[in-house]
Amino acid sequence: MNSMAKKILQLVLLLIFLGCKNVSDNAAKDHPTSNQEELLYRPNFHFTPQKNWMNDPNGMFYHEGLYHLFFQHYPDKNVWGPMHWGHAVSDDLIKWTEKPIALYPDEKGYIFSGSAVVDSANTSGFGENGRIPIVAMFTYHDPKGEKEQTLYYQTQGLAYSLDNGNTWTKYSQNPVIANPGLRDFRDPKMFWSTEYKKWLMVLSAYDKTLFFESNNLKEWKFLSEFGKGVGAHGGIWECPDFFPMTVKGIGEKKWVLLQSLNEGAPNGGSGTQYFVGDFDGKTFKLDSIFSNSLTKEEALWIDYGRDNYAGVTWSNIPSSDGRKLFIGWMSNWDYAKVVPTQGWRSTMTIPRELALVKNENGYQILSKPIRELAAQTKLRHSYDRIKIEKNQHWSLDVNTLARAKIDFTIDKRENKLLRFILSNNEGDTLSFGYDDFKKAFFVDRKKLINHNFSKKYADKITTATRKSDKNTLSGTIILDKTSIESFYDAGETVLTEIFFPMKPFERLTITSEEHDLVLSSLDVYEIVLK
Encoded amino acid at 109, one letter = G
CB nearer ligand FRU, residue 184 or residue 278: 184
CB nearer ligand FRU, residue 56 or residue 526: 56
Q: How far is the CB of 36 from ligand FRU (least distance, A)?
A: 29
Measured CA angle at 117 (ends 114, 120), to 5 deg: 165
Q: How far is the CB of 369 from ligand FRU (least distance, A)?
A: 23
Measured CA angle at 462 (ends 273, 239), to 5 deg: 25
Q: What are phi and psi of 375, to 5 degrees?
A: -70, -10
Contact 433, 442 (CB under 8 A): yes
Residue 310: CA atoms inside 13 Å, Cβ hemisphere, count? 29
Q: How far is the CB of 452 from ligand FRU (least distance, A)?
A: 24
Q: Is 56 a catalytic residue?
A: yes
DSSP characters for 92-125? SSSS-EEEEEEE--BTTBEEEEEEEEE-TT-TTS
Residues that bind ligand FRU (CB under 6 A): 55-56, 72, 83, 112-113, 139, 186-187, 238-239, 310
Residue 85 to residue 90: CA distance in whole angstroms = 17
**Residue in 25, 30, 56, 523 annotated catalytic:** 56
Beta-bridged to residue 191, according to DSSP, are 200
Measured CA angle at 95 (ends 92, 97), to 5 deg: 110
Q: How far is the CB of 303 from ligand FRU (least distance, A)?
A: 15
Q: How far is the CB of 182 from ligand FRU (least distance, A)?
A: 13
Q: Which residues of 453-491 are buried (b: 16+ CB within 10 A; e: fewer)?
A: ebeebbeeebbbebbbeeeebbbbbbbbbbbbbbbbbbb
Q: How far is the CB of 82 from ligand FRU (least distance, A)?
A: 10
C-alpha distance from residue 135 to each of 54, 99, 113, 170 (Å): 22, 18, 14, 10
Beta-bridged to residue 324, according to DSSP, are 354
C-alpha distance from residue 179 to each of 110, 129, 171, 238 (Å): 15, 34, 17, 16
CB nearer ligand FRU, residue 140 or residue 441: 140
Catalytic residue numbers, as ranges: 56
